[in-house]
A and B are shown apart, each in its own frame.
Chain A
């Protein structure tokens, strides 16, 4: 079945540091890939997405490129802020089956940014 693997957290960085959160996936066909963010006490919000190979998703200074050759979708940001502290989830939607088969999530990476 489909699966998503994320780097273990927590990841602790200083403000203005460069961020990379690794994500790799296993899926048949051509899945769509997502990053979701969960701020403390809140629900999940879509951060960015990519639906085909070599697509780059970007939002709020975050970027991720769909790399089919390495089955990866790493999240990056050039300069993090304290307000970026949250849990980040990599997710995929498989291309097989119908549209109602939900998302497969990674286990989440807790990011802590220190001033």
Chain B
């Protein structure tokens, strides 16, 4: 049983397209996150959702929009894709305020924009 699952694992698309990445967690956590990992492996938080409410929105272009239909899902929608959006995107979840178990990450989605 996968705790945090992302789909697709790989995504190759052309500039200007719109795409979505899906994330689901079966841990009962109430907070979910999206992180971006660039080509140098640097990880930066993009968004977090707690009880369907956006908590963090770092300096991310508004072409990126998180969508959470329920507590177990946090999808990432990207409009008008650009070459610089190529990266690995990780979904994660945590139980709000609980640091005992850290955060659980998905296996990542490698997005390539051509």
- Chain A residues in the interface with B (C-beta under 8 A): 32, 34, 36, 38, 42-46, 49, 51, 87, 89, 93, 98-105, 107-108, 110
> How many residues of chain B are within 8 Å of chain A by beta carbon?
31
**Residues 51-79 of B at the A interface (beta carbon under 8 Å):** 55-56
CA distance A115 to B90 in the complex (A): 31
Q: B50: nearest residue on chain A (CB-CB)?
A: A100
Is chain A's interface secondary structure helix, strand, loop, or mixed overall? strand
For the complex formed, measure the closest distance between the CB of B9 and the CB atoms of chain A, giving whole angstroms. 10
**Residues 97-113 of B at the A interface (beta carbon under 8 Å):** 97-108
For the A-B complex, the count of residue pairs with Cβ-Cβ distances under 8 Å equals 71
CA distance A53 to B35 in the complex (A): 28
CA distance A101 to B107 in the complex (A): 21
Q: B107: nearest residue on chain A (CB-CB)?
A: A43
Q: Are B43 and A46 in contact (CB under 8 A)?
A: no
- Residue among B40, B56, B108 making CB contact with A100, cutoff 8 Å: B56
- Residue among A44, A98, A110 making CB contact with B90, cutoff 8 Å: A44
- Residue among B49, B55, B105 making CB contact with A45, cutoff 8 Å: B105
